[in-house]
């Protein structure tokens, strides 16, 4: 039986993934073969190209129905098949709802999750009496308008390092409820209301729970200061409903400059916002 290669004999690669989460049971591979996940599909394609089992590690595990415009993944392999194989070759084996955007060799010190310094999510709401047939499963549809100014005022209370227990899922396994939010903004582009938040890390369902609270504020059911009150109570039961997953996108993951990873940040051009629907590759 072939022995496992030493760590020094392995090549490590970073990939950027874009995927539509509508048909997937989240990122993480599940025990049940009936559940389709992004990780399982990617590992199947990687293993086929590598001609040996490959395990993929992601920057942030997205839930069922959640999308990613730039999920970062790393994997180890004994052989470097080359950039064309790790991008075009992998894409030819993946479903059309998952795409590798780029690949890059990295050192063993790089870790997709633990090397990350920040994650950025956006939550997209479409306010219209009639929903869009073209964007089914890609956003949260509301039948009424939202007061974006009130929502922005509320979002300002999120900035800083603090206890986000009021916005964590009951089953969240994180040891600490503290997270450091660097930026939190709400803005409007036509019929779209976009909540854009960047932090060092996020608790399970944190962005969707905050989005649910912001929607109530935007509808006028609560004052903007309600966010501050919820943070102080640390009580999830007072924060209201969790927003649906289909409006949530993992937009960007930041790493220290010395890793020299390309920076790609994009959402479907149908959103019509130059701020969100932009693609940068540095």
Catalytic residue selected from 9, 63, 147, 235: 63
At CA 19, angle to CA 15 and CA 24, rounded to 5?
120
Is 145 known to be catalytic?
no
- Cβ burial, residue 91 (10 Å; 0-12/13-18/19+): middle
User: In degrees rounded to 5, what are phi and psi of residue 260?
Assistant: 55, 50
Dist. CA 247–CA 208, nearest whole Å: 9
Cβ atoms 245, 64 nearer than 8 A: yes
| N-terminal to C-terminal alpha carbon distance within the chain | 44
User: Hey, which bits of 107-203 come out as E strands?
Assistant: 118-127, 140-142, 160-163, 178-189, 192-199
* Active site amino acids: 63
């Amino acid at each position: 039986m072939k022995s496992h290669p030493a760590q020094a004999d392995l090549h490590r690669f970073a990939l950027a993934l874009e995927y539509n989460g509508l048909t997937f049971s989240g990122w993480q591979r599940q025990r049940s073969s009936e559940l389709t996940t992004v990780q399982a599909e990617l590992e199947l394609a990687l293993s086929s190209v590598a001609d040996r089992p490959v395990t993929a590690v992601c920057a942030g595990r997205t839930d069922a129905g959640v999308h990613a415009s730039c999920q970062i993944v790393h994997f180890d392999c004994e052989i470097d098949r080359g950039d064309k194989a790790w991008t075009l070759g992998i894409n030819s084996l993946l479903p059309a709802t998952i795409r590798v955007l780029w690949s890059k060799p990295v050192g063993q010190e790089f870790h997709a999750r633990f090397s990350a310094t920040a994650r950025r999510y956006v939550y997209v709401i479409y306010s219209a009496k009639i929903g869009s047939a073209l964007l089914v499963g890609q956003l949260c549809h509301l039948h009424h308008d939202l007061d974006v100014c009130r929502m922005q005022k509320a979002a300002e209370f999120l900035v800083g390092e603090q206890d986000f227990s009021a916005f964590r899922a009951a089953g969240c396994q994180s040891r600490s409820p503290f997270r450091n939010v660097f930026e939190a903004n709400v803005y409007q582009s036509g019929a779209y209301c976009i909540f854009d938040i960047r932090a060092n890390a996020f608790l399970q369902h944190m962005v969707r729970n905050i989005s649910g609270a912001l929607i109530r504020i935007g509808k006028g059911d609560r004052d903007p200061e309600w966010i501050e009150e919820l943070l102080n109570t640390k009580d999830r039961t007072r924060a209201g409903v969790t927003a649906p997953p289909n409006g949530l996108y993992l937009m960007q993951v930041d790493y220290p400059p010395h890793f020299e990873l390309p920076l790609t940040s994009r959402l479907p051009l149908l959103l019509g916002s130059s701020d969100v629907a932009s693609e940068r590759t540095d």
